């Protein structure tokens, strides 16, 4: 899968055809919708995303059990690219993976997709309930959790704009995804490329990374940012 976040990379876009081995694009926020649409078209690959704090307000939409997009209980046309899936607060079976998502960051100013710790904890509890129901129905758990902000203390910063969510620790412990992918925070120079939260691999995918999810976790095939293809 191709994981992207926060940074538009024209080099990636120009050479995207060489990444057609990717079966899924996972976008962790703060990327223009037309850029995501171009990546989808170049790779001919489904895309699942969560919004970041610099993205527009995309709330009010939800998927029905039949897969229809609804707003205020009525069928709706999404403002995001056709064929893409907003998984914020949702769980989706796509390209053989169960993907869950929570967008937004810790509130540090007025604007969309920003939440207090208490607000995000409530959204995380709702996602846990959905994950529990899905596990009972499908007999399997979550493969990948995509978020915009990182977990508190796991690759985040002390600046209010870069601080992660403490509630993600309980969420990860409850749903036990094989990987948590996030953006929002500039990777620390010389910092660890890989982090763990229990048995869950935590990756900052700011820029873009080509990853593989297997039974033993997540493997970087092409890690890094602005890398020539």
All domains in the chain, ordered by first residue: 2-222 (3.60.21.10)
Give the pLDDT score at 226.
44
Give the pLDDT score at 79.
80
| CA distance linking residue 87 with residue 174, whole number of Å | 18
Q: Which two tokens stand for residue 89?
A: 């607060």
CB atoms within 10 A of CB 133: 11
Residue 228 has pLDDT above 50, yes or no: no
The answer to whether the CB of 2 falls within 8 A of the CB of 213 is: no
Better-scored residue on pLDDT, 110 or 17: 110
Show Cβ contacts of residue 156 under 8 Å, excluding neighbours closer than 6 positions: 149, 150, 162, 163, 164, 185
| CA distance linking residue 153 with residue 68, whole number of Å | 37
The answer to whether the CB of 202 falls within 8 A of the CB of 154 is: yes
Give the pLDDT score at 125.
97
The answer to whether the CB of 2 falls within 8 A of the CB of 208 is: yes
Rounded mean pLDDT, 58-73: 76
Give the pLDDT score at 191.
55
| CA distance linking residue 168 with residue 198, whole number of Å | 12
Confidence band of 27 (pLDDT split at 50, 70, 90): very high
Rounded mean pLDDT, 62-86: 78
């Amino acid at each position: 899968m191709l994981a992207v976040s926060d940074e538009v990379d024209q080099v990636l876009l120009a050479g995207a055809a060489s990444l057609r081995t990717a079966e899924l694009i996972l976008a962790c926020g703060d990327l223009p919708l037309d850029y995501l649409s171009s990546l989808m078209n170049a790779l001919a690959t489904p895309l699942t995303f969560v919004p970041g704090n610099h993205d527009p307000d995309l709330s009010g939409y939800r998927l029905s059990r039949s897969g229809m997009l609804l707003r205020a209980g009525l069928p709706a046309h999404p403002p995001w690219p056709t064929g893409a899936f907003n998984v914020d607060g949702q769980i989706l079976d796509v390209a053989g993976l169960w993907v869950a998502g929570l967008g937004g960051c810790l509130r540090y100013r007025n604007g969309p997709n920003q939440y207090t710790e208490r607000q995000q904890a409530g959204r995380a509890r709702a996602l846990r309930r959905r994950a529990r129901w899905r596990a009972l129905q499908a007999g399997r758990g979550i493969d990948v959790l995509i978020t915009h902000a990182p977990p508190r203390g796991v690759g985040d910063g002390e600046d209010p704009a870069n601080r992660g969510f403490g509630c993600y620790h309980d969420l990860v412990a409850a749903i036990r995804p094989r990987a948590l992918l996030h953006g929002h925070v500039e990777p620390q120079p010389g910092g660890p490329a890989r982090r763990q939260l229990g048995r869950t691999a935590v990756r900052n995918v700011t820029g873009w990374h080509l990853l593989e999810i297997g039974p033993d976790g997540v493997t970087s095939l092409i890690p890094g940012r602005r890398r020539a293809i």
